[in-house]
């Protein structure tokens, strides 16, 4: 059992950053252990906002809250490394849709499994009830903040 400091004065920002960065680090380590050593945290948002039918670059950029140019840089890299592919968008001649290749889908599955393991560990530590509360509260906050 870990001794928790009851006088922990850290600000909310730090308290949110710690578990978030822990997740990012664990996923990167887990993917590297599975052989995906060329994926960096910046690429994760691409997988996170992907859909089976594919997504446009502009939509990905908006979802990740970065510029189209920055997202283009990330997607170009993922495409060179074989994780994504681009197809013309039949409904709009200016656009192309970005999709995961099989290799990309495998990354997605692996990442989800790592995340399930993390969630199981946290649930062990916190108890299922507090874990469910945490998830629910974060969902509520996210819904509020996205307005």
The whole-angstrom separation of Cα 30 and Cα 33 is: 5
Contacts with a copy of itself, 7-46, as mask; x by CB under 8 A: -x-xxxxxxxxxxxxxxx--x----------------x--
Q: Provide the mask over 74-113, with x wherever binding to DNA is found by CB under 7 A and - wherever it is not.
A: x--x--------x--x--xxxxxx----------------
DSSP the chain: -PPP-TT----HHHHHHHHHHHHHHHHHHHHHHTT-TT--HHHHHHHHT--TT-EEHHHHHHHHTS-HHHHHHHHHHHHHTTSEEEEE-TT-TT-EEEEE-HHHHHHHHHHHHHHHHHHHHHHHHH-HHHHHHHHHHHHHHHHHHT-
Query: Nearer to a copy of itself by C-beta: 51 or 80?
Result: 51
Token readout for 43 is 């690429």
Selected from 57, 100, 107, 114, the binder of DNA by CB under 7 A is 57
Pick what 41 binds: a copy of itself, DNA, none; C-beta below 5 to 8 Å, kind-dependent.
Answer: DNA
Site map for a copy of itself, 98-137, x if CB under 8 A?
Answer: --------------x--x--xx--x--xx---x--xxx-x
Find the shortest distance in angstroms from Cβ 32 to DNA: 12
Please say which residue, 17 or 80, places its beta carbon nearer to a copy of itself. 17
């Amino acid at each position: 059992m870990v001794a928790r400091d009851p006088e922990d004065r850290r600000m909310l920002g730090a308290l949110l950053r710690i578990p978030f960065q822990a997740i990012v680090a664990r996923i990167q380590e887990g993917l590297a252990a599975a052989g995906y050593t060329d994926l960096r945290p910046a690429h994760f948002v691409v997988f996170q906002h992907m859909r089976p039918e594919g997504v446009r670059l502009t939509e990905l950029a908006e979802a990740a809250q970065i510029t189209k140019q920055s997202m283009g840089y990330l997607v170009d890299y993922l495409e060179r490394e074989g994780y994504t592919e681009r197809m013309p968008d039949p409904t709009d001649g200016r656009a192309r849709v970005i999709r995961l290749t099989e290799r990309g889908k495998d990354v997605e599955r692996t990442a989800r499994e790592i995340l399930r393991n993390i969630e199981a560990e946290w649930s062990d530590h916190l108890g299922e009830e507090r874990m469910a509360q945490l998830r629910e509260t974060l969902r509520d906050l996210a819904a509020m903040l996205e307005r």
